[in-house]
Amino acid sequence: MPRYAYVNGQYLPHRDAMVHVEDRGFQFADGVYEVVTVQDGRLVDEEGHLNRLNRSLGELQMASPMASRTALELVMRTLIRRNGVVNGIIYLQVTRGVAPRDFRYPSRTKPTLVMTTRHMDLNPVARLERGVAVITMPDIRWKRRDIKSVALLPQAMGKQMAAEAGAFEGWMVDDDGTITEGCSSNAWIVTDDNVLVTREPTTRILNGITRQSVLRLAADEGIGFEERPFSVAEARAAKEAFLTSATTYVTPVTQIDGETIGDGLPGRLARRLRQAYWQYAAGDHADVQAAKGP
């Protein structure tokens, strides 16, 4: 089946998709992005992701790439359908556009909009049965982590460091010794009193859309939670730990920096929230197959 990408109003064969050499996303990382999961042909947490996209654009004084959200949603569904994605992701990237290279924002540019899709296994059984390992590392990012910017070099370096250590993810540590978040996920622990703990949403972290949904589900399930910083030592001594993201949902963490968490098996609350989120994701979301368009 041919694979397509969407670039500035055109559905193109993936191999032919490209942007201009002076696109500011390429030269300055002057852009933002979102990743939306597709589960059983349905977009998961679509509204939250598109709301955050608009927020990121606003924080960078960047124009919306399309006239309306309805138009954007139609393009998303059309691309998903063209690529036959039943389980996977759609990636959206918006940059300030093409302009002669200058650090200052250009006064007149048209934003660049790129979308791609990928098929994925959303329920990796072996990983969920064993849990995953993470390592900690210094958080060397800029101070506006709440903006979902394409400036991801520190995260790429962290992911490489984790991979070389045989870990699934890196948890980044601020100058005060507290864990901020993962390179591409939010970090969680469970106390001995079965209270969930995750960092509060400030400019120090990206307020994950999956994170927000998990907090709502925890409240619905009667699970207590706190939004506050926690140290590396507290994480290593936690009863449970897990991470959340759009592509991993709720994934148990069973090892931090080589130290076993709890009994070394995925924890009860992590498994419970994973199941709750899976059922939520399969629920009342926009049906891709119902989309109209070319």
Pairing of strands 225-227, 196-198: parallel
**90, 80 contact by CB (below 8 A):** yes
3-state secondary structure of 28: helix
Q: Tens of pLDDT along 106-152?
A: 988 999 999 999 999 999 998 999 999 999 999 999 999 999 999 99
DSSP 98: B
CATH code of the domain made up of 125-281: 3.20.10.10
pTM for the whole thing?
0.94
- For the chain, how many residues are written? 294
Angle between helical axes of 69-82 and 46-59 (0-180°, round to 10) = 120
Which amino acid would we find at residue 100? P
The single residue of 143, 148, 159, 292 carrying the catalytic annotation is 148
Backbone dihedral angles phi then psi of residue 29, each to the nearest 5 degrees: 55, 35
Q: What percent of the chain is modeled with pLDDT above 70?
A: 96
Q: Which two tokens stand for residue 209?
A: 């859309």
3-state secondary structure 152-221: CHHHHHHHHHHHHCCCCEEEEECCCCEEEEECCCEEEEECCCCCEEECCCCCCCCCCHHHHHHHHHHHHC
What confidence category does residue 31 fall into, taking pLDDT thresholds of 50, 70 and 90? very high
Q: Decide if 143 is catalytic.
A: no
Pairing of strands 10-13, 169-173: unpaired
Indicate the fold that domain 4-122 takes in CATH.
D-amino Acid Aminotransferase; Chain A, domain 1 (3.30.470)
Indicate if the pLDDT at residue 289 is higher than 60. no
Indicate if the pLDDT at residue 285 is higher than 60. no
Segment 262-268 mean pLDDT = 97
Indicate if the pLDDT at residue 269 is higher than 80. yes
Indicate if the pLDDT at residue 164 is higher than 80. yes
Segment 222-248 mean pLDDT = 98
**64, 111 contact by CB (below 8 A):** yes
Residues of the chain with CATH 3.30.470.10: 4-122
Tell me, what's the pLDDT at 2?
84
